[in-house]
């Protein structure tokens, strides 16, 4: 899997509308979860959406970034907030494929929305979606091209974003 160029998290978020919208929706859901009773099924459902959204936003924070968390106080010494990495997770869990795969899928979708003339094949090459071999129903081996793998991942991402209440921006053509 290819790597995203690191330009700083805030700069990345400012330049990528869909990632920014996912981060906003995550913040809304975190506030909603904190208002629900601790062990309620509703809270568990909201926390599940939050942890799934986090897998698409930015890569996991490093140990150094986690140590840089600090309290913000006012002139009276009262705590008014917390300064922490944008990459910090609400819950430290991961499901399924590696997080990098999801971040690459989101980056490819954002690039496709910004430039609809790009082909899925070109995006698959740029973001490292390689051809894979799968077993067919009859037991034979079938080669699936990287662009098909990417398109399937984007379909899953779009479906999940609809369920999570994140609106997809229209292509800027």
Which tens digit of pLDDT belongs to each residue from 25-70?
A: 888 888 888 898 988 889 888 888 888 777 777 655 556 555 556 5
- Whether residue 115 is contained in a domain is answered as yes
Q: Give 4's pLDDT tier (boundaries 50, 70, 90).
A: very low
Spatial distance between the Cα atoms of 161 and 114, rounded to a whole number of angstroms: 18
What is the arithmetic mean of pLDDT over 5-31? 71
Q: 7 pLDDT exceeds 50?
A: no
Nearest alpha-carbon partner for 26 in 106, 104, 97? 106
133: β partners: 143
Q: What is the pLDDT of residue 139?
A: 84
Residue 71 lies in a domain: no
Mean pLDDT of 57-84: 61
Tell me which residue range forms the domain holding 143: 9-60+90-164
Q: How many domains does the chain have?
A: 1
Secondary structure of the chain: what % helix, strand, coil (to 5)?
A: 50, 10, 40
Look at 140 and 20; give whichever has higher pLDDT: 140
Q: Is residue 170, in this structure, part of any structural domain at all? A: no
In-domain check, residue 145: yes
Give domain status of residue 38, yes or no: yes
Confidence category of residue 6, pLDDT binned at 50, 70, 90:
very low
Question: What radius of gyration, in Å, describes the C-alpha atoms of the chain?
Answer: 19
What is the model's pLDDT at position 17?
A: 77
Residue 83's pLDDT is: 54
Query: In 3D, which of 103, 165, 94 has the Cα closest to residue 128?
Result: 103
With H, G, I as helix, E, B as strand and everything else as coil, classify residue 138.
coil
Q: Is 3 part of a structural domain of the chain?
A: no
Asked whether residue 52 is domain-assigned, the answer is: yes
Is this structure's pTM higher than 0.85? Answer: no
Q: Is residue 69 part of a domain?
A: no
pLDDT band (50, 70, 90) for residue 118 = very high
Does the pLDDT of residue 84 top 60, yes or no?
no
């Amino acid at each position: 899997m290819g790597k995203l160029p690191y330009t700083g998290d805030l700069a990345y978020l400012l330049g990528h509308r869909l990632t920014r919208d996912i981060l906003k929706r995550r913040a809304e859901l975190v506030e909603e979860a904190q208002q629900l009773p601790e062990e309620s099924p509703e809270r568990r459902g909201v926390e599940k959406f939050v942890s799934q959204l986090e897998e698409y936003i930015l890569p996991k924070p490093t140990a150094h970034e986690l140590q840089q968390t600090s309290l913000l106080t006012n002139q009276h010494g009262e705590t008014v907030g917390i300064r922490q990495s944008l990459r910090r997770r609400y819950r430290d869990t991961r499901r399924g494929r590696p997080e990098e795969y999801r971040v690459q899928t989101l980056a490819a979708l954002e690039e496709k929305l910004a430039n609809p003339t790009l082909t899925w094949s070109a995006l698959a090459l740029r973001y490292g979606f390689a051809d894979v071999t799968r077993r067919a129903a009859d037991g034979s081996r079938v080669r699936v091209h990287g662009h098909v793998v990417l398109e399937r991942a984007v379909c899953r991402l779009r479906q999940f974003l609809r369920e999570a209440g994140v609106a997809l921006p229209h292509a800027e053509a």
